[in-house]
Amino acid sequence: MDSKGALLTAAQFNWNVRVYYEDTDTAGVVYYANYLRFFERARTEWLRHLGLNQEKLAAEEGLRFVVRRATLDFVAAARLDDLLQISVRILKLAKASLELEQEASNQGRRICAATVQVAFLRNADFRPVPIPVSIRAKMQP
């Protein structure tokens, strides 16, 4: 585990997220759309952990990662003050995209699971481009 609470094991990156009042709905559980926010934060921290700065990539290279598809499966409820572990794991690294498995768990108990397809695009026209070899190398387990 690093100083920011991230853990990388084999091909999996883990990031801790605390549930705040603003994350919950009127029933006192995490509002379903907030899992997408938690997953986005974990993906961003994973890229940062790999040494990839998304803003720098966009500004200097004219390239960016964007979510193309996300499928979520809600298994159990998370509540105020829970400390969730959000994981990121590559399922498939294709030419211009990657498919990720993400999971929110609480003390080892699965709360929400997702499959997220992320495309690599050129800023100028938002067309897919091959993921550069230098970036692919950082994503290999």
pLDDT digits (tens), the chain, 141 positions: 444 444 444 479 999 999 999 999 999 999 999 999 999 999 999 999 999 999 999 999 999 999 999 999 999 999 999 999 999 999 999 999 999 999 999 999 999 999 999 999 999 999 999 999 999 999 986
Residue 70 lies in a domain: yes
Q: What is the pLDDT of residue 104?
A: 99
Residue 2 lies in a domain: no
The number of folded domains in the chain is 1
List the CATH number of the domain containing 94.
3.10.129.10
Residue 86 lies in a domain: yes
Active site residue 25: yes
The structure's pTM equals 0.89
Residue 42 lies in a domain: yes
Residue 56 lies in a domain: yes
Q: Which of 25, 73, 81, 125 is catalytic?
A: 25
Residue 57 lies in a domain: yes
Residue 49 lies in a domain: yes
Cβ-proximal residues to 123 (8 Å cutoff; 6+ apart), any chain: 58, 62, 63, 64
Count the Cβ atoms, other than its own, within 10 Å of residue 14: 20
Residue 12: domain span: 7-139
